[in-house]
Amino acid sequence: MARELHLIVVGKLKDSHLEAVEADYLKRITNPPLIIHEVKASAENKEAEGEAILRKMRELGSTHLIVMSEWGKKRTSVDFANWSKDLIEKQTKPVFVIAGAEGFSDEVLKTAKEKISLSDLTFPHKIARILLVEQLYRAQTIRTGHPYHN
């Protein structure tokens, strides 16, 4: 069973309101906890960002990289909860990744085991980060029968 979930993001939130929302969800995500790793943004250089993402992935010893992409598989919240339960129960270390404004490097996309989408809409990466964290919390509440999802 995965002892923790990881999220690699390019750049920092740099917005106290978004930081507060994220912190609130992070303290609630406990089964398993979510750890966020910020890698340095590189102005208009997705290859450098890709190297930073892959370096962090290797440091974590990840065997299951999941990129967040508008071209990824779409799921309902309940489907996402069931999928994440299966992911957590495997002996892999799931690592979600949100790219910077320029998107993913080809190498990160080749390394990814899965691509998932939060919506048909395109979001700024800072908003996508908050949405993913909220959906991970929502998935936890669905798995445990907590009324949050209702």
150 assigned to some structural domain = no
Mean pLDDT of the chain: 93
89 assigned to some structural domain = yes
Q: What is the mean pLDDT of the segment spanning 43-65?
A: 90
- Per-residue pLDDT tens digits for 126-135: 999 999 999 9
Would you say 45 and 16 are in contact if contact means Cβ atoms under 8 Å apart? no
In whole angstroms, give the CA distance from residue 63 to residue 107.
15
CATH of the domain at 122: 3.40.1280.10
Would you say 56 and 39 are in contact if contact means Cβ atoms under 8 Å apart? yes
59 assigned to some structural domain = yes
137 assigned to some structural domain = yes
45 assigned to some structural domain = yes
Q: What is the mean pLDDT of the segment spanning 40-66?
A: 90
- Per-residue pLDDT tens digits for 104-129: 999 999 999 999 999 999 889 899 99
Is 63's pLDDT higher than 90? no
Domain count, the chain: 1
56 contacts: CB under 8 Å, gap ≥ 6: 8, 37, 39
67 assigned to some structural domain = yes
Is 102's pLDDT higher than 70? yes
78 assigned to some structural domain = yes
- Per-residue pLDDT tens digits for 79-96: 999 999 999 998 678 999
Give pLDDT, residue 83.
95
Residue with tokens 């920092």: 12
Range of the domain at 103: 5-145
CA atoms within 13 A on the CB side of 62: 26
